[in-house]
Amino acid sequence: MDSAEVTEPMTAAWAHYVNSNNLLNELRGLSKTYPFSSECLDEAKALVVRDPGSVRSWNYCWLVLVKIEKENLLTKHARALAFKASTWGGKRPTQAESDRLVNACVVEWTRALRQMLRHWDKPPSTTGA
Protein backbone atom coordinates (compact mmCIF):
# COMPACT_ATOMS: atom_id res chain seq x y z
CA MET A 1 0.00 0.00 0.00
CA ASP A 2 1.49 3.35 -0.98
CA SER A 3 1.37 6.53 1.05
CA ALA A 4 -1.36 8.16 -1.07
CA GLU A 5 -3.68 5.21 -0.43
CA VAL A 6 -3.55 6.06 3.24
CA THR A 7 -3.19 9.83 3.26
CA GLU A 8 -5.84 10.74 0.67
CA PRO A 9 -8.77 9.22 2.60
CA MET A 10 -7.42 10.67 5.86
CA THR A 11 -7.04 14.09 4.25
CA ALA A 12 -10.65 13.95 3.06
CA ALA A 13 -11.87 12.77 6.46
CA TRP A 14 -10.13 15.59 8.34
CA ALA A 15 -11.34 18.20 5.83
CA HIS A 16 -14.91 16.96 6.32
CA TYR A 17 -14.51 17.06 10.10
CA VAL A 18 -13.33 20.68 10.02
CA ASN A 19 -15.67 21.98 7.29
CA SER A 20 -18.83 20.32 8.62
CA ASN A 21 -18.53 22.26 11.91
CA ASN A 22 -17.61 19.16 13.90
CA LEU A 23 -14.35 20.80 15.00
CA LEU A 24 -16.20 23.97 16.03
CA ASN A 25 -18.75 21.91 17.97
CA GLU A 26 -16.00 20.03 19.74
CA LEU A 27 -14.13 23.23 20.62
CA ARG A 28 -17.37 24.76 21.91
CA GLY A 29 -18.01 21.65 23.97
CA LEU A 30 -14.66 22.31 25.63
CA SER A 31 -15.37 26.04 26.12
CA LYS A 32 -18.90 26.19 27.50
CA THR A 33 -18.62 29.39 29.53
CA TYR A 34 -17.24 31.40 26.60
CA PRO A 35 -18.13 29.49 23.40
CA PHE A 36 -15.24 29.21 20.98
CA SER A 37 -15.26 31.85 18.23
CA SER A 38 -16.46 30.63 14.85
CA GLU A 39 -14.81 33.71 13.33
CA CYS A 40 -11.47 32.62 14.79
CA LEU A 41 -11.83 29.16 13.30
CA ASP A 42 -12.90 30.58 9.92
CA GLU A 43 -9.87 32.87 9.82
CA ALA A 44 -7.53 30.00 10.66
CA LYS A 45 -9.06 27.85 7.92
CA ALA A 46 -8.57 30.64 5.37
CA LEU A 47 -4.96 31.15 6.50
CA VAL A 48 -4.21 27.43 6.13
CA VAL A 49 -5.69 27.34 2.63
CA ARG A 50 -3.50 30.29 1.58
CA ASP A 51 -0.36 28.93 3.26
CA PRO A 52 1.92 27.09 0.82
CA GLY A 53 3.46 25.32 3.82
CA SER A 54 0.18 23.56 4.52
CA VAL A 55 1.24 20.72 2.23
CA ARG A 56 3.52 19.57 5.04
CA SER A 57 0.61 17.70 6.63
CA TRP A 58 -2.39 15.70 5.47
CA ASN A 59 -4.22 16.63 8.68
CA TYR A 60 -6.30 19.76 8.03
CA CYS A 61 -7.59 19.80 11.61
CA TRP A 62 -4.08 19.87 13.05
CA LEU A 63 -3.02 22.56 10.56
CA VAL A 64 -5.98 24.77 11.56
CA LEU A 65 -5.38 24.33 15.30
CA VAL A 66 -1.67 25.09 14.95
CA LYS A 67 -2.44 28.14 12.79
CA ILE A 68 -4.73 29.50 15.53
CA GLU A 69 -1.92 29.12 18.03
CA LYS A 70 0.94 30.46 15.87
CA GLU A 71 -0.97 33.48 14.57
CA ASN A 72 -2.29 34.40 18.06
CA LEU A 73 -5.84 34.33 16.74
CA LEU A 74 -7.36 33.62 20.14
CA THR A 75 -6.40 37.02 21.52
CA LYS A 76 -7.42 38.79 18.31
CA HIS A 77 -10.89 37.26 18.32
CA ALA A 78 -11.38 37.61 22.06
CA ARG A 79 -10.72 41.34 21.64
CA ALA A 80 -13.15 41.52 18.74
CA LEU A 81 -15.80 39.85 20.88
CA ALA A 82 -15.14 42.18 23.81
CA PHE A 83 -15.66 45.24 21.63
CA LYS A 84 -18.86 44.10 19.90
CA ALA A 85 -21.81 46.16 21.12
CA SER A 86 -24.03 43.07 20.97
CA THR A 87 -21.80 41.31 23.50
CA TRP A 88 -22.83 43.84 26.13
CA GLY A 89 -26.51 44.16 25.29
CA GLY A 90 -26.27 47.81 24.35
CA LYS A 91 -24.28 48.79 27.44
CA ARG A 92 -20.86 50.33 26.93
CA PRO A 93 -18.33 48.28 28.92
CA THR A 94 -15.49 49.80 30.89
CA GLN A 95 -11.95 49.02 29.79
CA ALA A 96 -11.61 46.75 32.83
CA GLU A 97 -14.75 44.81 31.86
CA SER A 98 -13.51 44.39 28.29
CA ASP A 99 -10.09 43.29 29.53
CA ARG A 100 -11.66 40.72 31.88
CA LEU A 101 -13.72 39.28 29.04
CA VAL A 102 -10.70 39.10 26.73
CA ASN A 103 -8.66 37.33 29.41
CA ALA A 104 -11.45 34.90 30.28
CA CYS A 105 -12.00 33.99 26.63
CA VAL A 106 -8.28 33.55 25.95
CA VAL A 107 -7.87 31.28 28.98
CA GLU A 108 -10.85 29.09 28.12
CA TRP A 109 -10.19 28.97 24.38
CA THR A 110 -6.50 28.19 24.96
CA ARG A 111 -7.49 25.31 27.23
CA ALA A 112 -9.83 23.96 24.53
CA LEU A 113 -7.19 24.36 21.81
CA ARG A 114 -4.53 22.58 23.85
CA GLN A 115 -6.98 19.82 24.74
CA MET A 116 -7.47 19.19 21.03
CA LEU A 117 -3.76 19.44 20.16
CA ARG A 118 -2.83 16.88 22.81
CA HIS A 119 -4.11 14.20 20.42
CA TRP A 120 -0.90 14.60 18.41
CA ASP A 121 2.35 14.04 20.31
CA LYS A 122 4.20 14.85 17.08
CA PRO A 123 3.05 16.76 13.99
CA PRO A 124 1.21 14.61 11.44
CA SER A 125 3.36 15.22 8.37
CA THR A 126 3.57 14.01 4.81
CA THR A 127 7.24 13.17 5.30
CA GLY A 128 6.94 11.30 8.57
CA ALA A 129 9.33 13.77 10.20
pLDDT at position 54 is 86
Q: Is 84 exposed, middle or buried (0-12, 13-18, 19+ CB in 10 A)?
A: exposed
Of 78, 31, 23, nearest to 48 by C-alpha is 23
For residue 18, the model assigns a pLDDT of 96
pLDDT tens, the chain, 129 aa long: 457 677 788 889 999 999 999 999 999 999 999 999 999 999 999 999 999 988 878 899 999 999 999 999 999 999 999 999 999 998 999 999 999 999 999 999 999 999 999 998 888 876 655
Q: Taking each helix axis from N to C terminus, what angle separates 22-29 and 3-19, rounded to the nearest 10 degrees?
A: 60
pLDDT score, position 1: 42
